[in-house]
Amino acid sequence: SAVISQKPSRDICQRGTSLTIQCQVDSQVTMMFWYRQQPGQSLTLIATANQGSEATYESGFVIDKFPISRPNLTFSTLTVSNMSPEDSSIYLCSVDRRTVSTDTQYFGPGTRLTVL
Amino acid sequence: SQQGEEDPQALSIQEGENATMNCSYKTSINNLQWYRQNSGRGLVHLILIRSNEREKHSGRLRVTLDTSKKSSSLLITASRAADTASYFCASSTQGGSEKLVFGKGTKLTVNP
């Protein structure tokens, strides 16, 4: 399994500000994913981040609101820009670990964001 | 859009009982995975079942997959209070996509 860490683990922010969330993996991975989980809801994919290329965003998510960086094969950041209370969610990164016998995605512990 | 639907949305049982959660999906899949989430924390991978498999076991977990009905079930036998969590199914669609589409989840409460 992959060891994935996220920073910060939680934050309380004022509306109109931005927060950058970091995701660090203990080994090199090709694809990293960012998900949002709104209160009491399931997970929704925000974007897929490949090293050396622009992130691919899902319908309903745009780069201006959720810019993503992927500077190397073990690290990615997600920024939540110009935040509003509706952005209060848990944000999770995940990596796809494929071998001959498995193609499991492993998740970080999440960043709990509250926007006032 | 979310293609996984799970039922029940909430399930409360006594310790020692079995818990069954169901998941349905809409399109053809490569595989289906089940995850557990404790109190809004990160997801823990439980088990993966491929589209050509019908049943899989891991400890107290049993997963079935019926591709004709586009459904899966997760059975937890001899439940424990520590099994209290939310359980999500997530499907990986055919076509080489690594993206996971999550169901809405079942909140399981196991009472001691």
- B24/A contact by beta carbon, under 8 A: no
CA-based nearest distance B18→chain A, Å: 24
Determine the residue of chain B that is closest to A33 in CA distance: B99
User: Which residues of A fall within a CB distance of 8 Å from B4?
Assistant: 42
Chain B contact for A44, CB < 8 A? yes
Say what percent of chain A tops pLDDT 90. Answer: 75
Full 3-state SS string of chain B:
CCCCEEECCEEEEECCCCEEEEEECCCCEEEEEEEEECCCCCEEEEEEEECCCCEEEECCEEEEEECCCCEEEEEECCCCHHHCEEEEEEEEECCCCCCEEECCCEEEEEEC
Q: Could B43 and A104 be called an inter-chain contact, meaning their C-beta atoms sit closer than 8 Å? A: no
Residue in B with minimal Cα distance to A59: B1
Task: Give the pLDDT confidence of A86-100 residue by residue, as tens digits.
Answer: 999 999 999 987 655
Whether the predicted pLDDT of A31 surpasses 90: no
How many CB pairs below 8 Å do chains A and B form together?
Answer: 61
Residues B60-97 pLDDT 10s: 999 999 999 999 999 999 999 999 999 999 998 765 55
Strands B10-14 and B106-111: parallel
Any A CB within 8 A of B71 CB: no
pLDDT of residue A50: 85
Q: Tell me the three-class secondary structure of chain A, residue by residue.
A: CCCEEEECCEEEECCCCCEEEEEEECCCCCEEEEEEECCCCCEEEEEEEECCCCCEECCCCCCCCCCEEEEECCEEEEEECCCCHHHCEEEEEEEEEECCCCEEEEECCCEEEEEC
Mutation target to probe the A interface, by most A beta carbons within 10 A, among B92, B100, B104 is B100
pLDDT of residue A107 exceeding 50, the answer is: yes
Among B81, B85, B94, residue whose Cα is nearest residue B50: B94
Which residues on neighbouring strands pair with residue B38, listed in sequence order? none
Q: For residue B104, list chain A residues with Cβ-Cβ distance below 8 A.
A: 41-42
Q: What is the pLDDT of residues A43-73, one digit of tens each?
A: 999 999 988 788 999 999 999 999 999 999 9
